[in-house]
Amino acid sequence: MTQPAFTVTSDFDGTLFDPNLKAFIAWYYNAQTTSLLNSHNIPFILNTGRPIWDTFSDVQIAAAGMKKPDVVVYGAGTKIVWRRGNTYELDEEWEKIMQKTGWNKAKILKAIQPILKEYNAALFDTHNEYMTRIWINKIPVEELNKFVKAVLSVVSDTKVLRTEQILLPNTEVIFSGYLLLIPSTAGKDVGMKHVLNTLRPKANLVFGDALVDLPMLMDASSEGYAVNPTAMARMELKNTKVTILEGSPPENILRIITSKLNIEKSIRNSPYRSVSSSFFSILEPFIYPKLTSDQLSLKGLELVQHSITKKHLGGMFLLVQGLLLDVFDGLRARKSPKLTSDNGQLIDGYSDRMKEYVQLANRKHYDSAISCFLPSIARARAEAIGSVVPEFDSAGGSALSRNVKLVKSYFLSSVGNVDGSNRVDKSIYLSNMQTFHNRKSLAKSFSWSNLKKYDRPSVQRLLFYISLLQSKANEQKVENSELNEALKEYMKINIEKLKNDLKITFPKINH
C-alpha cells in the first residue's frame, strides 16, 4: 500500500452535515472536498458516534455531497469496516480486540436500570453489542456529572462518552443528548489510531464538533480542527493545540484540505464551476464551439442584455442561457487554456458584474445595480492581504445568490407582479451591502500604501472592479447615504496612476 500524503478523518453529524445549514451549502462544499480527495488519492476515514453504519447511512452521506468513506469507524470506535468496491468488510482484527474485552451489554443494562429511573433517562437500543445509548434532555451539567458517576459506580471496564444532540438546547451549563456506554478500550481516538497504523499516512487531518470528538481531535499525532464546536466542546478545547474554526463546517474543511494540498485557484476555477463541471462538461463542446472562453463570457453578457428587451418566456430563456454561460466559459478555459487570455478572469468578472448591473439598472434600481460591484471589491481587497474569503456569505451577497434573485425578479416582473419584483431587487441591495461589510472586515490591515507588497492578481482585480464601479456610479446620481458612504473611499482613487505605478494592465473589452 502506497503511503498517503495525509488522511482525512471526520465526524459526520454536525461536521460534514449540519441541519442549521441549507442542504445545498453543505453539498456545495462537500462535493468539492470529494473531488479533491478522489483526485489526490487521499483516504477518507469517517469516524462517527452512530451505533451502526448501513446502506441508509451511505445514502445520507451521498446526499450531503461526500464520497463513500474508505474506512468507517462507527459506534464511537467500537466497530471498524473497510470499503472494498461498493461493500464494506469488517475489520476482523479490531473485532477480536473488542471481543477480548468481555464487555457484557446485558449485564450493564441490568445494572443501570435503577439509575435511569432516578434521572428520568431513556434507553435506546443500538443494535451494536459494544454500545449502550442513554438519552437525557436538558439536564444541568452538575446533575449530569452525578449521573455519569452513578453509572460508573455500578459498571466496570466501561467508558461513558457524552455527545450533544443537534438542534436541542446545549450550552455551557445545560446538556441534551446521549451518553454512550462502550468498552473502556474503545473510543473514536482508539479506533482511529488502529486505522492509521494500517494506512501509515504522513499526516492526519481530524475534523469534529462535539464532546465525543474531543479525544480524536486532541490526538498528539494528528492535526485537530474543531469546526463550529458545541458550547461544552469549546470549553474543553481551551488551552489545547486544537484549532477552532468558526462558520460553515463543510466550507472550513474544504479550505483546510485545499491549503494542505497547496492548491491555487487556476484561471476561472471558482468553486461553483468546479462542482458544476461534472454536470456540464458533456454539453460544453456543443455550446458556441467556435468561441474562446473570453468570447463565451461576453456572449453571456450579450444574451442577458437582449433578455431585457424581450418579454415573458423568450426573455427568460435568454436570461437563463446568458447566466449559464458563466459555467461553460470556465469549463472551456480549463479545457483549452491556450485560448484563454492572461486577463481572462477579469473579462469573466466584467461579464458577471455587468450582467447584474444591466438588469437592475433597466428596472431603475440603480442603488442595487451599483452595489453589485461592492462584494467583489471587498473580496479582492481581503484576498490581496492573504485572507480567505468564503464564496457564500450568511448575508446572501454572493454572485450565485444574486443570480437566483435576478431570475426570480425577472419572472415576477414578466407575470405582472411589479411589487414582488421590486422587493426582490431591493433585497439584492441589502444583501450586497451586508456582504460588502462582512468581507471588508476580513481586510482590516489593508493599506493603500502597501499595494506593491500584496498579492498582485488580487490587487489587479481590486483596481479593475473599482474602475467599473467608478464608471457606473458616475452615470447616475447616488442619493442613498449608506451607499454614498461605501463609495466614498473608492470614488476618489486615481486608478490610472495606480496602474502606472504598479505596472498593471486591464483587458481591452470591446463590448
Instruction: Specify the pLDDT at position 288.
Output: 85
Cα(180)–Cα(151) distance, integer angstroms = 11
In this predicted model, what pLDDT tens digit does every residue of 304-324 receive, in sequence order? Answer: 999 988 877 788 889 998 888
Cα(42)–Cα(483) distance, integer angstroms = 46
Q: Answer for the pair 455, 383: CB distance below 8 angstroms, yes or no.
A: yes
Instruction: Specify the pLDDT at position 339.
Output: 47
Q: Answer for the pair 6, 249: CB distance below 8 angstroms, yes or no.
A: no
Strand-pair category, 204-208 with 132-140: unpaired
Instruction: Specify the pLDDT at position 80.
Output: 98
CATH classification number, 271-502, choose in 1.10.1660.10, 1.20.120.1760, 3.60.15.10, 3.30.110.60:
1.20.120.1760
Q: Please provide the average confidence, as pLDDT, over all residues in the chain.
A: 89
Instruction: Specify the pLDDT at position 266.
Output: 41
Residue 216 identity: M
Instruction: Tally Cβ neighbours within 10 Å of residue 350.
Output: 22
Q: Answer for the pair 36, 259: CB distance below 8 angstroms, yes or no.
A: no
Cα(133)–Cα(144) distance, integer angstroms = 15
Q: Average pLDDT in the 101-120 region?
A: 93
Q: Which segment of 40-49, 282-291, 497-506 scores lowest on mean pLDDT?
A: 282-291
Instruction: Specify the pLDDT at position 268.
Output: 42
In the block, which residue shows the cell 506593491? 452
Angle between helices 456-473 and 495-502 (to 10 degrees): 160
In this predicted model, what pLDDT tens digit does every residue of 255-278 receive, in sequence order? Answer: 899 888 865 444 344 444 455 555
Give the dihedral sign, CA 227/172/236/11: negative
Q: Average pLDDT in the 436-461 region?
A: 92
Residues 6+ apart with CB under 8 A from 105: 129, 130, 131, 132
Q: Answer for the pair 393, 438: CB distance below 8 angstroms, yes or no.
A: yes
Name the most confidently modeled range: 206-210, 438-442, 454-458, 479-483. Answer: 206-210
Cα(305)–Cα(356) distance, integer angstroms = 10
Q: Is residue 116 very low, low, confident or very high in pLDDT (cuts 50, 70, 90)? A: very high
Instruction: Specify the pLDDT at position 343.
Output: 73
Q: Average pLDDT in the 362-366 region?
A: 93
Instruction: Specify the pLDDT at position 415.
Output: 87
The CATH fold assigned to 7-99+187-260 is Rossmann fold (3.40.50)
Phi, psi of 485 (to 5 degrees): -65, -40
Please state the domain extents for the chain.
Answer: 7-99+187-260, 105-183, 271-502
What are the strands of the beta sheet with 132-140, ordered from one edge?
A: 122-124, 132-140, 174-183, 158-164
Give the dihedral sign, CA 370/372/374/376: negative
In this predicted model, what pLDDT tens digit does every residue of 451-508 receive, in sequence order? Answer: 999 999 999 999 999 999 999 998 888 889 999 999 999 999 999 999 999 999 998 8
- pTM for the structure as a whole: 0.60
More confident residue, 400 or 109: 109
Instruction: Specify the pLDDT at position 331.
Output: 67
Q: Is residue 437 very low, low, confident or very high in pLDDT (cuts 50, 70, 90)? A: very high
CATH code for the part of the protein at 105-183: 3.90.1150
Q: Average pLDDT in the 77-84 region?
A: 97
Q: Which of 190, 52, 183, 51 is nearest to 105 (CA)?
A: 183
In DSSP terms, which residues pair with 87 in a beta bridge? 84
Q: Which of 398, 299, 413, 322 is nearest to 365 (CA)?
A: 413
Instruction: Specify the pLDDT at position 374.
Output: 96
Q: Which 8-state DSSP code applies to residue 173?
A: S
Q: Answer for the pair 347, 297: CB distance below 8 angstroms, yes or no.
A: yes
Q: Answer for the pair 261, 36: CB distance below 8 angstroms, yes or no.
A: yes
- Please say if the pLDDT value at position 333 is more than 80: no
Residues 6+ apart with CB under 8 A from 8: 37, 42, 43, 44, 45, 204, 205, 207, 253, 257
Residues 6+ apart with CB under 8 A from 12: 46, 48, 50, 60, 61, 64
Instruction: Specify the pLDDT at position 263.
Output: 52
In this predicted model, what pLDDT tens digit does every residue of 146-197 receive, in sequence order? Answer: 999 999 999 999 999 999 998 888 999 999 999 999 999 999 999 999 999 9
Percent of the chain with pLDDT over 70: 90
Q: Answer for the pair 230, 164: CB distance below 8 angstroms, yes or no.
A: yes
Instruction: Specify the pLDDT at position 394.
Output: 59
Angle between helices 374-384 and 456-473 (to 10 degrees): 160
Instruction: Specify the pLDDT at position 391.
Output: 67
